[in-house]
Amino acid sequence: MNASIKLLEAVTPAVVSLTAQISENHPSSSVLGTERHGSGVLIDSTDLVLTVNYIVLGASRVAVTLADGAESEAKVIVQDFDSGIAVIQLDSPGSRGLQLRPSTETALGDDVAIVAAAPENARRVSDGVVVSFARFDANWEYSLDRSIMTTARNAGLGGAPLIDASGHVLGVVSLDLGEIGRSTLAIPVDYYLDHKDELLQHGRRISRPPRAWVGIFCYTFRNHIVVAGLLPGSPAERAGLKPGDVLLAINGQEVGQRHELYETLWSSQPGHRLEFSVFRESAVQQVSVTAGDAERFFA
């Protein structure tokens, strides 16, 4: 017990609270809102904060509150659309940052904890174990080859650190899964560590070729992919895809699972014309979509 208390005493000062302001004209505001709150963790130095990208996407202003109540303005310096990780830099230095540990150095069943910012600058802690490093795909055009799923529940806001028993950061909390035995999804810090120099120098992954993006939300039902929604102004909406469309194939290649859809999309590049075969109103129809670039759309 004393060891756990000492660990939290060492970790908690590095966990910060974030507030991001986004213009109502930004394409993400219709889905994520114009004021977003989240968590982050100081890393590497006293002025860099690791968090999740959806909190600061399109932010015109980011305010950070440290554990001791001190406040600082911050700017977004890294946005990795591939992994969903972001890094912000404080105007005023905070406390000492935590060390990062690749998730490949931990194992199923290892003890972990989430330390998250909560309303009124409180900190909440939840512990659990690692239950999976499985691939993960979301209902938007996003996929991780390796994720961290844990029984620890996120008791605060997105962007919180997932820490191991030594106080190292293994991942960044992204989603509440709400499943029995799998409560929370975290993005492994490996995605940051593997491309750290590139990300800090350029603010994004320039070594990865741009990949096609169309702006759909979808789910899988009985080995079919169904369009659940369309991002306003996205290539898919402009081309005429509709909620309820069942996606059968892209450029003649059948897609029955969501990860197959994403892999097929990402094998093309922005500007390419994609022929979607969809089942709509009891008939198969063709919808031609000119792929866009998510990074440019949300810039």
Residue 27, domain CATH: 2.40.10.10
Structure tokens at 60: 């015109």
pTM: 0.93
Domain count, the chain: 3
Residue ending a domain, among 149, 174, 202, is 202
Considering the domain architecture, whether residues 13 and 75 belong to the same structural domain is answered as yes
Between strands 136-137 and 143-144, the pairing is antiparallel
Report pLDDT for 1: 37
Residue ending a domain, among 143, 160, 193, is 193
Report pLDDT for 120: 84
* Mean pLDDT in consecutive groups of 10 residues from the start of the chain, 299 residues: 67 94 95 95 90 96 94 96 96 86 97 92 92 96 97 91 96 91 94 96 94 96 94 97 97 93 96 97 96 95
What is each CA distance from 297 to 12, 13, 232, 291, in whole angstroms?
A: 36, 36, 11, 11
Considering the domain architecture, whether residues 224 and 292 belong to the same structural domain is answered as yes
Cα angle, residue 187 at apex, residues 181 and 190 outer, rounded to 5°? 125
Structure tokens at 42: 């100081």
Structure tokens at 130: 């690692």
Q: Which residue matches tokens 């005493």?
A: 9
CATH of the domain at 241: 2.30.42.10
Q: Which residues pair with 20 in a beta bridge?
A: 36, 62
